[in-house]
Structure 1
Amino acid sequence: MTIVRSALARIAGHEGINFVLTNRIPRRWATRLFGWFSRIENPVVRDLSVATWRLFADLDLSDARTSEFRSLRDVFVRRLKDGARPVHPDPEILVSPCDAIVGAQGRVEAGQVLQVKGSAYALSDLLGDADHAARFAGGRYVTLRLTSSMYHRFHAPQDLCVESVTYIPGDTWNVNPPALRRVDRLFCRNERAPIRARLDRRGYPITLVPVAAILVAGIRLGFLGPGTELRVGGARVIPCDAALRKGEEMGWFEHGSTIILLTPEGFALHESAVEGRMIRAGQPLLRLPRDEDSTALG
């Protein structure tokens, strides 16, 4: 099994092969099909699917709340045991909203942020709103990439109030490194749902941008209320007034994807959050400005 898994990993890890296998297919059709397939409640289908999944990824279910899963989707959207993701208590720290690999990060310069080194995109294109993007001029961005085997739920990085959600329909390109290096403005092409919020701490505005990808059958936002389907109704702004505590669940992906976190000027990357390394939900990600900056409160 180890030999087979190593061979498959080498094939899947080849950049050209990986890109073709995950992008040169009918992406939306594949995503709809996978969404249907993942919901099949049959133990044989479930067990074979999970076994195949383990051939390609380090799937660890030891911290899952239950070992009983009705379908493959149940594995993807699993909840964790209480205490599995302790939340850093310092009120001056924004924690990671999700388990992820820390991707491109830095300052918003001339309205641009990096997708990967040497490839930038306009923040206004990502958010679909130039005025919204202008609020983060000179601010900080951090890209958090969730792989398929990771915990797929995401949480409030600080005590906050969600003010609105903007649903932007789009494509479903893979968001892994081979695709990020080959597809310009990838995040601006994919389906996404910018979440505008304001921190209880000093009133700073922040935005989280969940970005869908191939095989992501949906972005779900629990604070919008049960039964809310982002894809039903098309592109729109959904007003909201939802208070969430630090570490409280915000929503989930139905497969791995990406969250881009935006903050105003003055926030700093925490020293333990290193580009290219894994971070877990609840661990320190950013530090709030040391001194209150009135320009960040707009």
Structure 2
Amino acid sequence: MTVKSLISSLTQQEDLNFLLTNRIPRAAVTRFMGWFSKIENPLVRDLSILCWKLFSDLDLSEAKETNFKNLHDCFTRELKPGLRPFDPDPAIVTSPSDGIIGAHGTIRDGELYQIKGAPYSLRDLVVDPAVVETHRNGRFVTLRLTSSMYHRFHAPADLTMEQVSLIHGDTWNVNPIALKRVERLFCKNERAVIRTHLASGEPFTIVPVAAILVASVRLHALDRVLDARTERPLVFPCSASARKGEELGWFEHGSTIIMLAPGDFEFCDNVQEGARIRAGEQLWRKRVA
């Protein structure tokens, strides 16, 4: 058995996985990783990336540049041009990022779920009553980004950003093991609520949720990083338009994106729980009356 397969076997044991990734000082470890990842030392960088490859399926063959200054540069790497074409159909809302499709479906009177049988409140997730009313009976989808994935996210359609709110919180792991064990997990973690409307007028909300080792998100429209050190006020008015596929920002290491859409949006056939999806691929289709 190889070292990588042994590590994979051990981390697939749910009790051990949960213990190693949650029963530790999560905030302190996350702050440490934020500092450590920015060390500009070739030996530290190379050993860190080598270790990362042992624990994941990290593939840097798509990276635009591989001469990284530090581990952080590797996490937030750009891709070679043309590798994530966005579906040009204006009736299609695409995936904003690479990810694994998690819970998805209809929001029923303000209630959605992180896994089957584990509901949570839209109000607890977004806090803003206006967003709750907008999406009370809408649609939602959860996209989980693993540590090895491409971490930049893009406009899923032509849209205008209206407001960004930061909600301070914890840094629980967001993998399926933790989602089964921690109630209302997404409502406990650090997260941003990005209110937008599509060019066709429909309201659309993007909620990036932090996780252990990642509690920050960089948004180009605000020209700043939002994290646990961001001070009040935590609501940022914004009026920035983006074309479908245009980069909106990036996660520092990997996390989850919850997307909220109107109820008349239909999921495309490729949307299946557990399936991998790439930025630019079909996610929703606007229902034709």
Q: Same fold (TM over 0.5)?
A: yes
The equivalent position to 2:236 in structure 1, one of 235, 238, 243, is 238
Match of 1:14 in 2: 13
What is the distance in 2 between the residues matched to 1:242 and 1:261?
A: 19
How far 1:234 moved relative to its partner? 3.4
- 2:177 aligned with 1:178, yes or no? yes
2:254 aligned to which of 235, 253, 256? 256
Specify the code of the residue in structure 1 equivalent to 2:241: A
Deviation at 1:289, TM superposition (A): 2.0
8 A contact 1:154–1:250 mirrored in 2: yes
Aligned to 1:290: 288
Give the CA deviation at 1:249. 0.6
Alpha-carbon distance change, 217 to 185 in structure 1, aligned in 2, over 3 angstroms: closer
Pick the aligned partner of 1:220 from 194, 211, 218: 218
Question: One-letter code of the match for 2:218?
Answer: R
Q: Which amino acid aligns with 1:158?
A: A
* Alignment match, 2:163: 164
| Distance in 1 (alpha carbons) for counterparts of 2:56 and 2:68 | 19
CA contact (8 A) 1:120 1:185 kept: yes
The aligned counterpart of 1:118 is 117
Q: Which residue of 2 aligns with 1:278?
A: 276
Aligned pairs (5 A) from 1:1-298: 3-201=2-200, 203-225=201-223, 227=224, 229-230=226-227, 231-234=229-232, 236-291=234-289
State the alpha-carbon separation in 2 of the partners of residues 171 and 217 from structure 1: 9
C-alpha spacing 1:143/1:29, structure 2 compared with 1 (3 Å)? same
Unaligned runs of 5+ in 1: 292-298
Q: Distance in 1 between matches of 2:50 and 2:81?
A: 26
2:232 counterpart SS class? coil
Structure 1: distance between partners of 2:132 and 2:233: 18
Give the secondary structure class of the aligned counterpart of 2:192.
coil
Measured in 2, the distance between the counterparts of 1:189 and 1:234 equals: 19
CA distance in 1, matches of 2:177, 2:57: 19
SS in 1 for 2:10: helix
Q: CA RMSD of the aligned region, Å?
A: 1.1
CA displacement, residues 105-163 of structure 1 (integer Å, 9 cap, x when unaligned)? 00001210011010000001100123311111221000000000000000000000000
SS, match of residue 137 in structure 1: coil
CA distance in 2, matches of 1:229, 1:137: 27
Counterparts of 2:12 and 2:70, CA distance in 1: 27
* TM-fit CA distance, 1:67: 1.5
Q: Does the aligned pair in 2 maintain the 1:219–1:253 contact within 8 Å?
A: yes
The answer as to whether partners of 2:72 and 2:252 remain within 8 angstroms in 1 is: yes
TM-superposition CA deviations, 1:250-277 (whole Å, max 9, x none) = 1111111000000011101110122111
Higher strand share: 2
CA contact (8 A) 1:22 1:214 kept: yes
Contact in 2 for aligned 1:97/1:247 (Cα 8 Å): yes
Query: Counterpart of 1:232 in structure 2: which amino acid?
Result: T
Alpha-carbon distance between aligned partners in 1 of 2:183 and 2:232, rounded to the nearest angstrom = 24
Q: Residue type of the partner of 1:236?
A: L
Identity of aligned residues (%): 55
TM-score by length of 1: 0.94
Q: Work out whether residues 171 and 215 of structure 2, in 8 Å CA contact, stay in contact via their aligned partners in 1.
A: no
Q: Distance in 2 between matches of 1:275 and 1:177?
A: 12
Q: Which amino acid aligns with 1:162?
A: M
TM-score w.r.t. the length of structure 2 is 0.97
1:167·1:234 contact (CA, 8 Å) conserved in 2? no
Contact 2:192 2:208 in 1 (8 A): yes
For this pair of structures, how many residues does the alignment match? 288
CA distance in 1, matches of 2:133, 2:73: 39
Task: Compute the displacement of 1:229 (Å).
Answer: 4.2
Contact 1:166 1:235 in 2 (8 A): no
